[in-house]
């Protein structure tokens, strides 16, 4: 594998042609190419200069999902926390032969963020001594992202975490999301009311913003082609029991200044693996790890 670092991005590629690009800003994966194709959606108006969280790819949401609650340790933070709008450090790479295949290579890139790297503003707003290690592992057919959270301080802290993956799809009306049937979800487009998923192949036909809860991380969420039922993406998780399914649809897409073109809502679906319906409490000195593994066009 080759790894190159330039302009605040780290890019790795495999001899078989797959590649991944990560911006130090947010440790945001902005490109993942596999099977000769880009797998992630990136808005044409995404800010790549560190002035705003990157609209597309895989922003990391930490330590709060969505608007922070009132009277909470995260209350002074922006929506989705500070990880996606802080500059991380590149910790290095490692590579090996994949265990699961015939001599295929694997490359892993590690990124770090800790309280010492935060802006003063964020450090004041969330004054805990923490360290994050985010590992992005590229295989021939899959991309794995894993986050380790460490509490290096003397007091406990609570956090939420989510990998806000923007998957690229050709046509939103031609995909289905599977393995959510009978699961409970909070519908953020309907005053956060609770519902039970009735469909075994969810079609996205309007603005969608749902937090599916208490899922078995080992059961893949599958984005499949409606025409022939073939899987386009299959996402398994570790320790991440919630999955957010988000598509802004027509009006919301138009309303986001950094979302372009307006019609690009047809070319993306966010399937976001996280731990967001409650809070993880991390005791002083402890660490926690969560991960997602996205397989493409199996």
Binding site for ligand BG6 (CB under 6 A): 53, 66, 79-80, 164, 188, 209, 244, 246, 272
Taking the least distance from each CB to ligand BG6, the nearer of 110 and 209 is 209
164 tagged catalytic:
yes
Are 225 and 208 in contact, with CB atoms under 8 Å apart? no
- Count Cβ atoms below 10 Å from residue 127 Cβ, excluding itself: 14
From 38, 121, 272, 289, active-site residue: 272
Shortest distance (Å) from residue 53 CB to ligand BG6: 6
Nearest CB to ligand BG6, comparing residues 11 and 258? 258
Q: Among this protein's residues, is 289 annotated catalytic?
A: no
Give residues with Cβ within 8 angstroms of 228, minimum separation 6. Answer: none
297 is in an annotated binding site: no
Which CB, 13 or 166, lies closer to ligand BG6? Answer: 166
Minimum distance from residue 193 beta carbon to ligand BG6 (Å) = 14
Which residue, 50 or 66, has its beta carbon nearer to ligand BG6?
A: 66
Q: Which residue is catalytic, options 47, 148, 164, 283?
A: 164
Catalytic residue IDs: 164, 272
**Residues contributing to the annotated binding site for substrate:** 55, 79, 84
**Residues contributing to the annotated binding site:** 55, 79, 84
């Amino acid at each position: 594998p080759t790894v190159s670092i330039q302009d605040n991005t780290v890019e790795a590629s495999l001899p078989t042609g797959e590649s991944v690009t990560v911006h130090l800003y947010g440790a945001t994966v902005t490109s993942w190419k596999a099977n000769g194709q880009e797998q992630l959606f990136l808005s044409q108006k995404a800010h790549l200069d560190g002035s705003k969280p990157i609209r597309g790819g895989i922003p990391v949401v930490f330590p709060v999902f969505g608007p922070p609650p009132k009277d909470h340790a995260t209350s002074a933070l922006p929506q989705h926390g500070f990880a996606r709008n802080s500059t991380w450090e590149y910790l290095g790479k490692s590579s090996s032969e994949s265990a699961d295949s015939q001599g295929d290579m694997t490359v892993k890139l590690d990124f770090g963020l800790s309280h010492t790297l935060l802006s003063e503003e964020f450090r004041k707003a969330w004054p805990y001594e923490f360290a994050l290690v985010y590992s992005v592992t590229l295989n021939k057919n899959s991309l794995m992202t894993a986050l380790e959270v460490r509490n290096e301080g003397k007091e406990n802290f609570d956090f939420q975490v989510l990998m806000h993956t923007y998957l690229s799809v050709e046509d939103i009306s031609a995909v289905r999301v599977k393995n959510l049937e009978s699961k409970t979800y909070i519908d953020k487009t309907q005053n956060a009311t609770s519902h039970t998923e009735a469909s075994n192949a969810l079609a996205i036909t309007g603005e969608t913003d749902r937090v599916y809860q208490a899922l078995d991380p080992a059961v893949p969420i599958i984005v499949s082609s409606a025409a022939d039922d073939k899987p386009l993406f299959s996402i398994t998780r570790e320790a991440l029991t919630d999955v957010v399914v988000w598509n802004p649809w027509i009006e919301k897409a138009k309303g986001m200044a950094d979302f372009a073109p307006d019609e690009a809502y047809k070319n993306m679906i966010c399937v976001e693996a996280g731990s967001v319906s409650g809070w993880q409490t991390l005791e002083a000195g402890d660490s926690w790890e969560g991960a997602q593994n996205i397989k493409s066009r199996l």
